[in-house]
């Protein structure tokens, strides 16, 4: 944790390989990290066209560090969260509240699914568009059910870049 500095601009690259070492897919993206924040970056539902992935490499590139005081963390809160098993899926529901002074054009909500031992088993996400100051909005995240999952250990993370 680094409470004094933030990363306003972070580029990443995810490469997924098959058993022979061939690259099945390369995904590039951008993100940010507020000072002192633990950040999850999710790339759910990656289509590998029937191929089987055996290894992945995640590389962080082109970090732009700034003082945390110049990139204030958002004031977003998750309310009334919960997870249930519905047939073959895990449904994570909740409500996100914008307690900030800004309107956020995109709010990403990530659910991390774990087992009884606390091992992370999966991740899914959803996004809310144009969350106004003072607004509260419901969200639903669907993830395939897995054997050994502990839905009570589901963690929810909310991320939005300050406009």
The model's pLDDT over 49-98, given as tens digits with 9 standing for 90+, comes to 999 999 999 999 989 899 999 999 999 999 989 999 999 999 999 999 99
Query: How far, in Å, CA of 32 to CA of 39, rounded?
Result: 8
**pLDDT, tens digit, for every residue of 96-130?**
999 999 999 999 999 999 998 989 999 999 999 99
pTM of the model: 0.86
Distances (CA, A) of 51 to 17, 23, 42, 110, 144: 9, 11, 20, 26, 19
DSSP-assigned letters across all residues of 81-150: EEEEEETTEEEEEEEEEE-SSS-EEEEEEEEEEEBTT--EEEEEEEEEEEE-TT-EEEEEEEEE--TTB-
Per residue in 3-62, pLDDT (tens digit) is 999 999 999 999 999 999 999 999 999 999 999 998 888 888 888 999 999 999 999 998
């Amino acid at each position: 944790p680094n409470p004094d500095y933030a990363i306003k601009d972070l580029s990443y690259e995810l490469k997924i390989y098959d058993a022979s070492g061939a690259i099945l897919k390369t995904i590039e993206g951008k993100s940010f990290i507020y000072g002192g924040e633990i950040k999850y970056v999710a790339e759910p539902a990656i289509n590998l066209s029937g191929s089987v992935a055996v290894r992945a490499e995640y590389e962080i590139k082109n970090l732009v560090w700034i003082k945390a005081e110049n990139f204030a963390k958002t004031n977003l809160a998750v309310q009334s969260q919960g997870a249930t098993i519905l047939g073959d899926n895990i449904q994570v529901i909740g409500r996100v509240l914008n307690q900030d002074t800004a309107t956020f054009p995109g709010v990403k909500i990530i659910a991390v699914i774990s087992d009884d031992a606390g091992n992370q088993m999966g991740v899914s996400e959803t996004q809310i568009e144009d969350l106004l100051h003072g607004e509260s909005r419901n969200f639903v995240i669907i993830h395939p059910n897995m054997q050994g999952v502990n839905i009570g250990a589901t963690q929810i993370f909310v991320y939005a870049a300050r406009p």
